[in-house]
Amino acid sequence: MKHFQDKSLLQEFKRGNSHAFKTVYDMFFPSLCFFAKRLVDNDAEGEDIAADSFIKLISRHESFETLPNIKAFLFVTTRNACLNYLRLSQRQTASKNDLAWIQDKTDEHVLSHMVHAEVLREVEYEIEQLPQRCKEIFKLIYYERRSADEIAELLGISINTVWVQRAKAIQLIRTNLLKKGMLSVLLCFLVMTDNSLKM
């Protein structure tokens, strides 16, 4: 509990601490990429835009007061860049239908992708918080699509253990984050940065 008494992620971020930059990057980059890729329908361009947004964020690091400010900046900057990209690329193959289509991308459409990215980010964060063994099994089942038999053999445990751990993982994901609220998530990050500073 004493680890983050004096420092906070935001303070360090404002001060220009590269560990704080990395923590914020780890937090938001995958979901921001997801968001950008969806908007421009182009993976390479999407990642490029998301990375640009991060560079802008870091070069203005002194001006952020809160994590929601940072998040808002990242999404809004990325959204602007995506729309701009679409306008530019559309100009070459312009047609009125396409322009209408871009218009459609401005409001709820954009926001719905943001919601999607945010939900995924939170769920992913939850998975990463699982106890080691639990996480391992969860990932093997859901990401690698391994069967319980395979996992049991792979890890040298009983099939029963596999199911128990899977149930535990699902339970933990469902009950964890919201009860704690984003507040504790933020604080977890604070602890993490602080530990990494000590190393």
What is the end-to-end Cα distance of the chain in Å, rounded? 18
Contacts of 73 (CB under 8 A, 6+ apart): 53, 56, 57, 60, 64
User: Closest CB to another protein among 54 and 156?
Assistant: 54
Q: What are phi and psi of 117, to 5 degrees?
A: -60, -40
CB of 147 to another protein, least distance (A): 16
Using a 10 angstrom Cβ sphere, with 0-12 exposed, 13-18 middle and 19 or more buried, the burial of residue 110 is buried
User: Closest CB to another protein among 115 and 158?
Assistant: 115
83: tokens are 């729309």
User: Closest CB to another protein among 158 and 197?
Assistant: 197
Measured between alpha carbons, how far is 197 from 192 in angstroms, rounded to an integer?
9
21: tokens are 């930059």
* Identity at 106, one-letter amino acid code: T
User: Closest CB to another protein among 104 and 158?
Assistant: 104
User: Closest CB to another protein among 156 and 176?
Assistant: 176
User: Closest CB to another protein among 156 and 198?
Assistant: 198
CB of 74 to another protein, least distance (A): 10
CB of 192 to another protein, least distance (A): 14
CB of 33 to another protein, least distance (A): 5
CB of 185 to another protein, least distance (A): 9
Give DSSP secondary structure letters for 96-150.
Answer: HHHHHHHHHTTTHHHHHHHHHHHHHHHHHHHHHTS-HHHHHHHHHHHTS---HHH
CB of 182 to another protein, least distance (A): 4
